[in-house]
Amino acid sequence: MKLVDNKATLSFSNGSPSVDLPVYGGNIGPDVIDIRKLYAQTGMFTYDPGFLSTASCQSAITYIDGDKGELLYRGYPIEQLATHCDYLDTCFLLLNGELPNEQERTDFHKLVTNHTMVNEQMQFFLRGFRRDAHPMAVLTGLVGALSAFYHDSTDINNPEHRRIAAIRLIAKMPTLVAMSYKYGIGQPYMYPQNNLSYAGNFLRMMFGTPCEEYQVNPVLERALDRIFILHADHEQNASTSTVRLCGSSGTNPFAAIAAGVACLWGPAHGGANEACLNMLEDIQRNGGIAKVGEFMNQVKDKNSGVKLMGFGHRVYKNYDPRAKLMQETCNEVLQELGLENDPLFKLAKELEKIALEDEYFVSRKLYPNVDFYSGIVQRAIGIPVNLFTGIFALARTVGWIAQLNEMIGDPEYKIGRPRQLFTGSPRRDVPAAKK
Ligand code: CMC
């Protein structure tokens, strides 16, 4: 963060003295006005619910240019990472700042693989849940519970603890997601198999059974790996900011990541892929493509409360680059499985076509986001709809932990403590009759 040759001056119409505020520049992207001393200087706070104009931290991990539709992890465009690297390379990059060389790659894959198993006691903990519990409810509990099982890596101020906790989380998330799925359908858990790739192992833990050999389909393995890469990080989104805020109190990494899982669950965030597929299925049930026009009218009617799920983004005011890659993967997977005529895929493409030409969406710069096609891919792979957000959580874990560790290592880090504009009652006395 460097001072730029510019300063902001805040003046007031009531004659209060104006104040100069420093301006800092990053390497790319908008400059920021430093308001940290504003309260001391003026007795006023800034007001920005929803953080529309607030940079909550400095970060060197992920950069989004929402107008261009560009996403960079540590400087590398998402398109290149999704084409030339795998998910574990991407994890290494997000955690360490550089892509691994040959030796680092081998060592990192081995390290993650060595931690894929979870404490055997976890399955008894899992048994306390109802079989029909939503997997995100289960996952929030399981991830939080990791802090009870891995006491030796819970000191957030110890770099070695943070390193081990990061590896444990990345390695164990697929095992936990698959366990929550198997528990729900009453099948035995599959232990991880460490000679498989990260995505291949997950497919086997999900769909394999102890009764027969499971053959990993390389097209599905690659598709899943790409889903993981595309969801790995996304700068200061709601769940990442939750993880940072939660971790800023000094709590342990497992607890902070559990908070991220809970935040991700919401339909405006990670829950959108589930909501999007439910929406497509609903339209299909109610008449399919013939009813798309009617559905779009509802979306545009502000009183209907209906949104086109998988569309729109706080930052992207252009096509989400992840959605393009996801559409490509969608084509590959459907072709591999002989589902080229999948009615939901056709429906999604029709909705997209209409929306991209419709004044309502064009004027608001609403484009498909990553969730628009990811549900169709996951459904084709055989992942049940209510597990979609769990897959997102699995993939985002590395982003959360990289951001958390960056925050702890930042000399400027403090506990996060926003202020408020109070609109409630001023001091008053309890009525005499109650005393
Ligand atoms: N369908 C219909 N109208 C929409 C949509 C949509 N999906 N998204 C935004 N709008 C309208 C909104 O009503 C508003 O209209 P107006 O200016 O007339 O009041 C305008 O577009 C601006 O929207 P906003 O709600 O102020 O934008 P936001 O930045 O607060 O919200 C969002 C962003 C992602 C929550 C929102 O676009 C949305 O709810 N989309 C659907 C859910 C979704 O797909 N979420 C996944 C996000 S990507 C994955 C992730 O990172 O989690």
Q: What is the pLDDT of residues 197-220, one digit of tens each?
A: 999 999 999 999 999 999 999 999
- The Cβ of residue 125 has, within 10 Å, a number of other Cβ atoms equal to 16
Given the DSSP bridges, would you call strands 19-25 and 2-10 parallel, antiparallel or unpaired? antiparallel
Q: Please name the residue ranges forming H helices in 13-157.
A: 38-42, 78-84, 87-96, 102-113, 122-126, 135-149
Task: Find where tokens 């890469």 sit.
Answer: 229
Q: Is 123 helix (H, G, I), strand (E, B) or coil?
A: helix
Nearest to 117 by CA among 163, 161, 174: 174
Q: Using CA atoms, how far apart are residues 67 and 17, in angstroms rounded to an integer?
A: 37
User: Given this model, what pLDDT does residue 154 score?
Assistant: 86
User: Given this model, what pLDDT does residue 67 score?
Assistant: 93
How many whole angstroms from 396 Cα to the centroid of ligand 1? 21
Q: Using CA atoms, how far apart are residues 407 and 184, in angstroms rounded to an integer?
A: 36
Low-confidence ranges of the chain (pLDDT < 70): none
Which amino acid is residue 232, in one-letter code?
A
User: Given this model, what pLDDT does residue 157 score?
Assistant: 87
User: Given this model, what pLDDT does residue 271 score?
Assistant: 85
Q: Using CA atoms, how far apart are residues 241 and 237, in angstroms rounded to an integer?
A: 6
Residue whose Cα lies nearest atom 40 of ligand 1: it is: 312
User: Given this model, what pLDDT does residue 234 score?
Assistant: 96
User: Given this model, what pLDDT does residue 342 score?
Assistant: 86
Q: Which of 265, 314, 392 to mutate to test the pocket of ligand 1 (most atoms within 8 A of CB)?
A: 314
Residue 433: exposure state from Cβ atoms within 10 A (0-12, 13-18, ≥19): exposed
Residue whose Cα lies nearest atom 3 of ligand 1: it is: 307
User: Given this model, what pLDDT does residue 48 score?
Assistant: 97
Q: Which of 78, 307, 326 to mutate to test the pocket of ligand 1 (most atoms within 8 A of CB)?
A: 307
Residue whose Cα lies nearest atom 13 of ligand 1: it is: 302
User: Given this model, what pLDDT does residue 129 score?
Assistant: 96
User: Given this model, what pLDDT does residue 261 score?
Assistant: 97
User: Given this model, what pLDDT does residue 2 score?
Assistant: 86
pTM of the predicted model as reported, rounded to 2 decimal places: 0.93
Nearest to 231 by CA among 204, 199, 205, 256: 199
Which helix (H) or strand (E) covers residue 24, if one does? strand 19-25
Which atom of ligand 1 has the smallest separation from the CA of 264? Answer: 52
- The Cβ of residue 365 has, within 10 Å, a number of other Cβ atoms equal to 13
How many whole angstroms from 304 Cα to the centroid of ligand 1? 15
- Please list every protein residue whose CB sits less than 6 Å from any atom of ligand 1: 234, 237, 268-270, 272, 299, 307-314, 364, 366, 369-371
Q: Is 306 helix (H, G, I), strand (E, B) or coil?
A: coil
Nearest to 192 by CA among 214, 174, 218: 174
User: Given this model, what pLDDT does residue 248 score?
Assistant: 96
